[in-house]
Amino acid sequence: MDEKLKELKETMGTLTDLGHASSLLSWDQETYMPPGGVESRGRALATLGKMAQEIGTDEKVGKLLEELGPWAAEQDPDSDDARLIIVSQRAYDKAVKVPPDMVAERAMLTTMANAAWREAREKSDYSIFEPHMEKIIEFNQRYADLFKPYEHAYDVLLDDYEPKMKTEDVKKIFADIRPKQVELIEKIANAKQVDDSVLFKHYPKAEQIAMGEEIAKLIGYDFNRGRQDEVHHPFQTTIGYGDQRITYRVDENFFNTYIFSIMHEGGHAMYEQGVPKSLSRTALYGGTSLAVHESQSRMWENLVGRSLPFWEFYYPKLQARFPEQTKGVSMEDFYKAVNKVEPSYIRVEADEATYNLHIMLRLEIEIGLLEGTIAVKDLPQVWDDKFEEYLGIRPRNNAEGVLQDVHWSFGLFGYFSTYALGNLVSLQLWEKINEDIPGLDDQMRSGEFGKLLGWLNENVHAHGSKFYPQDLVQRITGSKINGDAYIKYLNKKFGDIYGL
């Protein structure tokens, strides 16, 4: 079986290399590619995608997996090789249902759609993006149909990002936490509001970027294996082992935009940097799901970056870097400012208490679009109406409304719910971390984050994508994904800040 396993790994290595080449082209598309290169970039991505699909669904791969399956069943079920075969078999079974030409079609479609989205967002004109959105919805409907029968078409899309999670599972979790979050938000609305004017001073771009690099290094992001670049919508991407890149957006007149995106994307990158080299060029390399991935980014962004211990350590450094902007503002008041709870238009800048409502809104809209109960032409109106229903405010234009997120332009349906699920997982992990690392708050007050990152490396990152997300979370915390720890955290944190 050694030769067959070696042959499988060589094929998986080729697929990984093609995927990383596509990631590099996509990263360049978002950072440095001139606008005139859109069509040719789309064709290049389409070619790479089609090649990978043809190689990955070749009958030889299916035969290898069929022959290796019985052998894997006799191995340690947690071993890398046994899990590689199990995970690869599942991926193969899904991939063979998708024609290579359809993979190429998606790459070309989304490349053009992304270019249209950029222009539409800049001009706050949905009509520019609408015809592309029509094609993306139609494509996702055809894609879901390849996997019939299913309980719900949305299950197919969700499974691509959160393996084995069902739409009903997510709905039940959201139905449990939504009224609890709404109750907390209503209590905060009746309390004395926090003054966050310090965040809206002028913070020069160059100084912000220098600060972000300092903080990213402090928490453990390795710039020898990464870099940061400016984009329209922040993201993290892995180009290969030892190359995990982060991106950012800067607002010189709002402090939160840059710093928390750097900590968020840094969290994603540190997950990837923590996956062992032994798993590189295999189907086990990278994070196990987007919810687990988001648990890492939201943990560093919020549980560290918006924590009192972090600012007890870092605020003097911030004052030294921005003395005029922070003049007369105490550390306690600054901490409260970065944690102000108030319904806002932009998801990536939302506070912790309201953030999940942004996700629940998107889930409802995505399901409606896929089912055909929401028409693409009506999307701006539907968005604004539901936004007002969920958050009590109405977007003033399309740029801060339906066009604010890049995801739909890339065809990423089924993706958004993983952000909220990641919030929940982050707190489940956080409770376990605090059991295992006594005095974690004191370490953060001293600017020491090595033990925290080391725990994550050992308990989360080291497994790559060996285990399905629900199984991994249960292995670590003793329970599957749920909102109990998250709601307890929100009530304690904002109860203290707002004196509830």
Catalytic residue numbers, as ranges: 265
**Do the beta carbons of residue 448 and residue 218 sit within 8 Å?**
no
Structure tokens at 7: 């042959």
Distances (CA, A) of 292 to 174, 248, 268: 17, 21, 10
Q: Is the dihedral of CA 76, 78, 79, 82 positive or negative?
A: positive
Beta bridge partners of 240: 243
Interhelix angle 484-498/417-436, nearest 10 degrees: 80
Q: Is the dihedral of CA 337, 338, 343, 346 positive or negative?
A: positive
Find, among 134, 148, 92, 168, the residue nearest to 417 by Cα: 168
**Do the beta carbons of residue 351 and residue 371 sit within 8 Å?**
no
Sheet holding 228-230, edge to edge: 228-230, 243-248, 236-240
Under 8 Å CB-to-CB from 444, ≥6 apart: which residues?
Answer: 304, 307, 309, 310, 313, 452
Q: Which residue has the tokens 């962004």?
A: 301
Structure tokens at 461: 């990152």
Alpha carbon distance 500, 498 (integer Å): 6
Find, among 189, 181, 90, 104, the residue nearest to 139 by Cα: 104
